[in-house]
């Protein structure tokens, strides 16, 4: 079946550090892949997405590349800020409009 596995948190980084949050998926065919972010006390917001292999999604300095060969969609940012502190969810959708989310990775950025 379809599933998403993302790295366990919590992750704590100093401001301006490099961020990687790993995400791998299991799905038949070619799912669409997403990163959503949840700030404290709020609902989820779409951060970026990629709908086909080798696509790179990017937004607000975050990037992720859809790697079919490694079934991965790792989230990266070159220099994190305190305002990036949030929970990050990797997700996929496939035929039938069902969504599958990872367990979420909590990121705290300290000044």
Partner 1 sequence: DSGVTQTPKHLITATGQRVTLRCSPRSGDLSVYWYQQSLDQGLQFLIQYYNGEERAKGNILERFSAQQFPDLHSELNLSSLELGDSALYFCASSPYEGATYEQYFGPGTRLTVT
Q: Which is nearer to partner 1, 79 or 95 (CB)?
A: 95
Q: Which is nearer to partner 1, 97 or 111 (CB)?
A: 97
Residue positions counted in the chain: 111
Residues that bind partner 1 (CB under 8 A): 32, 41-46, 49, 51, 89, 93, 96-104
| Least distance between partner 1 and beta carbon 69 (Å) | 22
Cα Rg of the chain (Å, integer) = 13
| Least distance between partner 1 and beta carbon 64 (Å) | 15
| Least distance between partner 1 and beta carbon 74 (Å) | 19
Contacts of 100 (CB under 8 A, 6+ apart): 2, 3, 4, 91, 92, 93, 94
Q: Tell me the DSSP string of 33-81.
A: EEEEEE-TTS-EEEEEEE-STT-EEEETTEEEE-BTTTTB--EEESS--
Q: Which is nearer to partner 1, 19 or 105 (CB)?
A: 105
| Least distance between partner 1 and beta carbon 45 (Å) | 7
Q: Which is nearer to partner 1, 17 or 101 (CB)?
A: 101
């Amino acid at each position: 079946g379809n599933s998403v596995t993302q790295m366990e948190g919590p992750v704590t980084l100093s401001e301006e550090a490099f961020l990687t949050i790993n995400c791998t998926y299991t799905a038949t065919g070619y799912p669409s892949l997403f990163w959503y972010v949840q700030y404290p006390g709020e609902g989820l917001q779409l951060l970026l997405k990629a709908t086909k292999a080798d696509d790179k999604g990017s937004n607000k300095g975050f990037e992720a590349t859809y790697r079919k060969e490694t079934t991965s969609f790792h989230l990266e940012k070159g220099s994190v800020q305190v305002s990036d502190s949030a929970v990050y969810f990797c997700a996929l959708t496939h035929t039938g409009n069902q969504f599958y989310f990872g367990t979420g990775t909590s990121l705290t950025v300290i000044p």
